[in-house]
Amino acid sequence: MNKVTVVGSGFVGATVAQYVADKDLADVVVVDIIEGMPQGKSLDLMEAAPLAGHDCEIVGTNDYAATKGSDIVVITAGIARKPGMTRDDLLKINANIVQGVARETVKHSPDAIFIVVTNPLDVMTYLTWKTTKLPSSRVIGMAGVLDSARFQAFIGMETGFSVQDIKAMVLGGHGDLMVPLPRFSSVNGVPITELMTADRIEALSKRTRDGGAEIVALLKTGSAFYAPGRSVAEMVESILKDKNRLLPCAVLADGEYGLKDVYIGLPAVLGREGLKKIVELKLSGAESAELKKSADSIRENIDAMNKLLVTA
């Protein structure tokens, strides 16, 4: 049986554990610093197993020893931005958490593939890559699958077509500067540009860019977790089953799209070794410019994080 470690047993971490087990993909170890929480949520999930009909073992712990030999490590540990907290405050706190988690987990699972979920996503994925010193093919960020799923959901709500037939591609950083690509989004092969006006597509693209904030505004005390958790499970499945799915993920650009040394959302092929390939689409001038702007903003944040970690 494959083994997946999920660090952080909060809303996203627990949802990842639930979907990974429900899809019968792997045994799951859930780790948290809070005593009792990972144990409690894991026991609850084990009690749901007879109903879900899977035989995956789900264990909660505060001890990294239990994560030994994991095939995949998912990092969701961190805090959400609270009122009065600057972006830099959040960056510093989550960078310290993610750095500590990456060090501990790679010690016990040097052959694992890492999927990073903690925000700010692209920067935390870069940090995990630097900290673990693993090949970049084994450190991947989850954002594009979620952002694309949101775009797909909005296209479905707008057109009334089954979401089963809707595919969308969203590239770039996981934030205000993400790049939804209507030209590469379709309803069963029919480009959405044939089905909707440019204005409506722009409105749905904007809603996608603000998708995380829309949920936060409604929940008030937390951020999204169902769609993020499910997005991670899709990536886990493609890796463990070596499915070669083409999924937008935060990956290290090495010259693709004219970008280098930055983690950013690009179309990625995921299989048993992790990232197998970055697929280069022919972007228009405007799309390329948006992607570059997004990469520049991530680079600025990486620089800011490096300064904060030095002074920490």
Of residues 124 and 187, the one with the C-beta less far from ligand APR? 124
33 binds ligand APR (CB under 6 A): yes
126 binds ligand APR (CB under 6 A): no
Phi, psi for residue 308 in degrees, rounded to 5 = -65, -40
Q: In the set 40, 46, 100, 167, which binds ligand APR (CB under 6 A)? A: 100
Q: Are strands 186-187 and 72-75 parallel, antiparallel or unpaired?
A: unpaired
Q: Which two tokens stand for residue 160?
A: 């009334």
Instruction: For residues 151 and 270, give the distance between their C-alpha atoms in angstroms, rounded to a whole number.
Output: 21
Tell me the residue nearest to ligand APR as measured from the CB: 10
Q: In the set 101, 145, 187, 283, which binds ligand APR (CB under 6 A)? A: 101
231 binds ligand APR (CB under 6 A): no
* DSSP line for 65-79: GGGTT-SEEEE----
40 binds ligand APR (CB under 6 A): no
Question: Per 3-state DSSP, what percentage of the chain is helix, strand, and coil (rounded to 5)?
Answer: 50, 20, 30
255 binds ligand APR (CB under 6 A): no
Q: Is 108 tagged catalytic?
A: no
Whose tokens are 């799209």? That residue is 257
Of residues 64 and 129, the one with the C-beta less far from ligand APR? 64
Only one of the segments 31-39, 152-160, 165-173, 296-304 lies at the binding site for ligand APR (rule: CB under 6 A); that segment is 31-39
- Single-letter residue type at 174: H
Instruction: For residues 257 and 296, give the distance between their C-alpha atoms in angstroms, rounded to a whole number.
Output: 13
Helix, strand or coil, per DSSP, at residue 228: helix
Only one of the segments 4-12, 49-57, 159-167, 253-261 lies at the binding site for ligand APR (rule: CB under 6 A); that segment is 4-12
8 binds ligand APR (CB under 6 A): yes
Instruction: For residues 230 and 178, give the distance between their C-alpha atoms in angstroms, rounded to a whole number.
Output: 20
Summarize as ranges the residues that interact with ligand APR (CB under 6 A).
Answer: 7-13, 31-34, 37, 76-78, 80, 97, 100-101, 117-119, 222-223, 225, 228
